[in-house]
Amino acid sequence: MYNNMNKLLFLFILINIHIAISIKPTFSTIEQFNHRYHNHKIISISPGGVGGYYLLGIITYIKENYYTENFCLLGASAGAWNCLPMSYNKNINTITNDLLLPYDLPNECSIDDYLCNYDIPDDNVNSIYNLQCNIKSMLINNYKNEDFNLNQINIATTIFTKKGFEQIIISDLKSLNRTIDCCFASSHIPFVTGKCLLKLDDVYFFDGGFKEFPHNSIDTHFDICLEMWGFKFNDCLNIEKYKKNGKLLLYKKGYRDSMENKDTLNKYFKPI
């Protein structure tokens, strides 16, 4: 009897070790990433700071009108966070509303209704880090792993080694919680979005937009970036800082600009 129990215990330990290993993401150099994904169509989503809401508008328009399931996603900083709605496998407006609007919405309130009839309250978000924490809380409380095609997502970030800063790409993400942790790692700027360097799995991380993105050796199919339709980062700052409901206005600007450039999008994506 004891021998059988020992065997079962040993088997249980082996299974849990296997699970622990299998859910750990892969850290790749640019060269390793290129070797692995050279036959894939890659969509890059660039950093953008507060312009991430403009990028969200672009992504929402693309998801509403084109097939995106077969693409490999590569994001950095705000672009890493935007990989989550880009990989969302249900109605894109569900997660868009959650990312843009406060939790205590009137029943069946749309973005347009809210923008026209309400003021976005001060969420007491006094730092980018707090904003990211709020987004994490919302996602963890309202979504499951199965709501996303996490296998699509690859996150670029920078690690600090004895030789200095090195850009890496995180792949093989299996859980929403781990993916969000990697979004933090890709968005972390010491003393701006948090204290010192961010540590994850005994590795120190720095901002994913610190080095060139996407790296010029990566052959991307399509690049989603802040200035792709002629918009400027300073325009984002002016809208977000001085306009009422700036985040919503940035989102709507990205959506409208994408609609006006649908002829370009038609060259890269298959319409639904």
> What is the tens place of the pLDDT at every residue in 113-141?
544 444 444 444 446 777 888 899 999 99
Please determine, for residue 22, whether its predicted confidence score (pLDDT) is greater than 60.
Answer: no
* Range of weakest confidence among 31-45, 77-91, 157-171: 157-171
In a domain, 21, yes or no: no
CA 227 – CA 261 distance, rounded (Å): 13
In terms of Cα–Cα distance, which of 169, 195, 196 is closest to 182?
A: 169
Residues 76-103 have a mean pLDDT of: 92
Quickly state the pLDDT bin for 16 (edges 50, 70, 90).
very low
Range of the domain at 238: 27-266
Residue 139 lies in a domain: yes
| pLDDT attached to residue 267 | 97
- pLDDT at residue 78 in the model: 92
The pLDDT-based confidence of 195 (bands split at 50, 70, 90) is low
**Mean pLDDT, to the nearest integer, of 143-159?**
94
Task: Tell whether 14 is covered by a domain.
Answer: no
Least confident of 42-51, 147-156, 241-250: 241-250
pLDDT digits (tens, 9 = 90+) for 55-65: 999 999 999 99
Look over the chain and give the mean of its residue pLDDT values, rounded to a whole number: 80
Whether residue 4 lies inside any domain: the answer is: no
Q: Is 194 left (phi over 0), alpha (psi -120 to 50) or beta?
A: left
Any domain includes 8: no
Residue 9 lies in a domain: no
Residue 74 scores a pLDDT above 70: yes
* Residue 21 binned pLDDT confidence (cut-offs 50, 70, 90): very low
pLDDT value at residue 249: 86
pLDDT 10s digits, 221-239: 999 999 999 988 777 766 6
With contact defined as beta carbons under 8 Å apart, do 224 and 45 qualify? yes
Residue 163 scores a pLDDT above 90: no
- Is the Cα dihedral 179, 182, 186, 192 positive or negative? positive
Tell me whether residue 17 is in a domain. Answer: no
Lowest mean pLDDT among 45-54, 95-104, 252-261: 95-104
CA–CA separation, 101 and 107 (whole Å):
13
187 and 178 Cβ atoms separated by less than 8 Å: no
Number of structural domains in the chain: 1
Q: What is the pLDDT at residue 243? A: 57
The whole-number average pLDDT for the span 15-28 is: 58
Domain presence at residue 82 = yes
